[in-house]
Amino acid sequence: MSTLALHGGNPVRTKPFPRWPVFSRADVRAVARVIESGLWGRTTGKVVAKFEEAFAKFQGARHGLAVVNGTTGLRLALIAAGIREGDEVIVPPYTFLASATAVVESNAVPVFVDIDPETYNLDPRLIEAAITPRTRAIMPVHFAGRACDMERILAIARKHNLKVIEDACHGWGGRWKDKGLGCIGDLGVFSFQSSKNLTAGEGGFITTQDADLLETVVSLHNCGRLRPRPGASVAASAWYEHHLLGGNHRMTEMQGALLLSQLKRLPKQIATREANARYLDRELAKIPGIRPMRRDAFVTRDSCHLYLFRYDPAGFAGKPRERFIAAMQAEGIPVSPGYPLPLYKQPVFLQKQFGPYTGWTHSRPDLDYGKVRCPACEKACASEGLWLSQSLLLGSRRDMEDVVEAVAKVQRHATKM
Ligand SMILES: Cc1ncc(COP(=O)(O)O)c(C=O)c1O
């Protein structure tokens, strides 16, 4: 163990970590039952509706709607919240592309506000300076499943009369002050894409506490149809009556069945991931040059979509993060540097390649994403941020010990890294 695996030494680990997705015969049977029923779409079956009820209850939302994916969910939520052409929406730059492009696809303007370097979540201290007369909403992202500082975000939103749409695409089961993520602002949005902790390959979900907002997203996701109020008779013509500019963003019954089945194992998986993340927080903090993220007291449950931690070359003989990652991978630990760029540095933003959504850009020649600077995010992307996957966190304590041992070994040999 004394030589780095990078230089021919024995790796700390040769076994793989748990694979993703996790499934059992029960998942297969649940999907097979839907297939055999012949009721494959939600307009004929009842399984998606059952999943909606179960997931909304699990998350603590009064209302829930399943949709095709998180990206569409964000767009529908923004439109339902009243976002219109040229409105500004505050978003963080350290997130998946869709958090910002959903704003563009709502015909609105993403305004990037930097992250807190201790949490990598939207920094509430910087929000007010970004508010203009055009600002209509804040879209915090509970990144990696750890809650944003919602108390401060809600206070700012109230003061400036802004909507809050939570990007809870990593937030299944996550809690802020014991309140489910996605159930704190006006609307919340989740993703069930393949890498996610609750998945059907693809899928999304919108939560809200407001019955009117629910009816709007229900209509938007179903071609602008109106849902008959409970007890009201359904006119035969209602299927071809379209009241809003909606589309077909409905989830299939097969996805609903798989999600309903997967949801049963989620609480235990969250407990495993959280216990492992807390162990890593404790142990990695002891290694020079490694800094786990701050866990605030308001994070009452972390859904742990990723395990984030920070690299400081000063603790590793000045070697760059890329050398650390190569050394860790050679030791058998799959560490990722995460996002390579803040979203505003992506070509789509630098060149404002916004397809048909350019109406507002003509009145905003001042808007140049090339001039945006978010130093904490730039550092996280360029040299500091490190990710471990959620499936690695499903491993045993022994697996986590391997992670810690590999980091410590690489650190001890940093001069030769
Ligand atoms: C933070 C965040 N927001 C939005 C999305 C979009 O979700 P989907 O891939 O289901 O469209 C993702 C997906 O990766 C995400 O990570």
87 included as an active-site residue = no
User: Based on the number of CB atoms within 10 Å of its own CB, is 219 exposed (0-12), middle (13-18) or buried (19 or more)?
Assistant: buried
Q: Mean pLDDT of residues grouped by 10 in the chain (417 residues)?
A: 91 97 98 98 97 98 98 98 97 98 97 98 98 98 98 98 98 98 98 98 98 98 87 72 96 98 98 98 98 98 98 98 98 98 98 89 88 98 98 98 98 96
Answer yes or no: is the C-beta of 98 below 6 A from any ligand 1 atom. yes
- Tell me if 339 is assigned to some domain: no
Instruction: Compute, in angstroms, the gap from residue 411 CA to the centroid of ligand 1.
Output: 34
335/340 Cα distance (integer angstroms): 14
Question: Could you tell me the CA-to-CA distances from 98 to 47, 72, 344 in Å, in that order?
Answer: 27, 9, 12
The number of domains in the chain is 1
225 included as an active-site residue = yes
Task: Select which of 19, 229, 240, 362 is catalytic.
Answer: 240
The number of residues making up the chain comes to: 417
- Tell me if 10 is assigned to some domain: no
- Tell me if 404 is assigned to some domain: no
Give all strands (DSSP E) within 114-214, no chain letters: 135-138, 163-167, 175-176, 179-180, 187-191, 204-208
What three-state secondary structure class fits 222? strand
Task: Select which of 58, 179, 193, 210 is catalytic.
Answer: 193
302 included as an active-site residue = no
Answer yes or no: is the C-beta of 197 below 6 A from any ligand 1 atom. no
Q: Do the beta carbons of residue 89 and residue 122 sit within 8 Å?
A: no
According to DSSP, residue 308 is labeled E
Cite the DSSP H helix spans in 251-385. Answer: 253-263, 266-284, 321-330, 347-350, 359-362, 375-379
- Tell me if 134 is assigned to some domain: yes
pLDDT for the residue numbered 227: 85
- How many C-alpha atoms does 145 have within 13 Å on its Cβ side? 26
Residue 109 has a CB neighbour count (10 Å cut-off) of 23
Pocket of ligand 1, candidates 67, 68, 71: which has the most ligand atoms within 8 Å of its Cβ, to mutate?
A: 71
Answer yes or no: is the C-beta of 70 below 6 A from any ligand 1 atom. yes
Pocket of ligand 1, candidates 191, 303, 343: which has the most ligand atoms within 8 Å of its Cβ, to mutate?
A: 191
- Tell me if 417 is assigned to some domain: no
Task: Select which of 27, 116, 149, 167 is catalytic.
Answer: 167
pTM above 0.95, yes or no: yes
33 included as an active-site residue = no
CA-closest residue to ligand 1 atom 8: 70
**Would you state the structure tokens that stand for residue 232, as one six-digit string?**
């009201």
- Tell me if 194 is assigned to some domain: yes
Instruction: Compute, in angstroms, the gap from residue 69 CA to the centroid of ligand 1.
Output: 8
Name, in order, each residue with C-beta under 8 angstroms of 232's C-beta and a sequence gap of 6 or more.
Answer: none
- Tell me if 156 is assigned to some domain: yes
Answer yes or no: is the C-beta of 141 below 6 A from any ligand 1 atom. yes
Instruction: Compute, in angstroms, the gap from residue 389 CA to the centroid of ligand 1.
Output: 15
53/66 Cα distance (integer angstroms): 10
Answer yes or no: is the C-beta of 170 below 6 A from any ligand 1 atom. yes
Task: Select which of 250, 273, 310, 321 is catalytic.
Answer: 250
- Tell me the residue range of the domain where 49 lies: 25-265
CATH of the domain at 261: 3.40.640.10
29 included as an active-site residue = no
Q: Which amino acid is at 187?
A: L
Answer yes or no: is the C-beta of 59 below 6 A from any ligand 1 atom. no
Q: In angstroms, how far is CA 348 from the centroid of its own chain?
A: 20
Pocket of ligand 1, candidates 172, 193, 304: which has the most ligand atoms within 8 Å of its Cβ, to mutate?
A: 193
Q: Do the beta carbons of residue 64 and residue 77 sit within 8 Å?
A: no
349 included as an active-site residue = no
- Tell me if 176 is assigned to some domain: yes
161/159 Cα distance (integer angstroms): 6
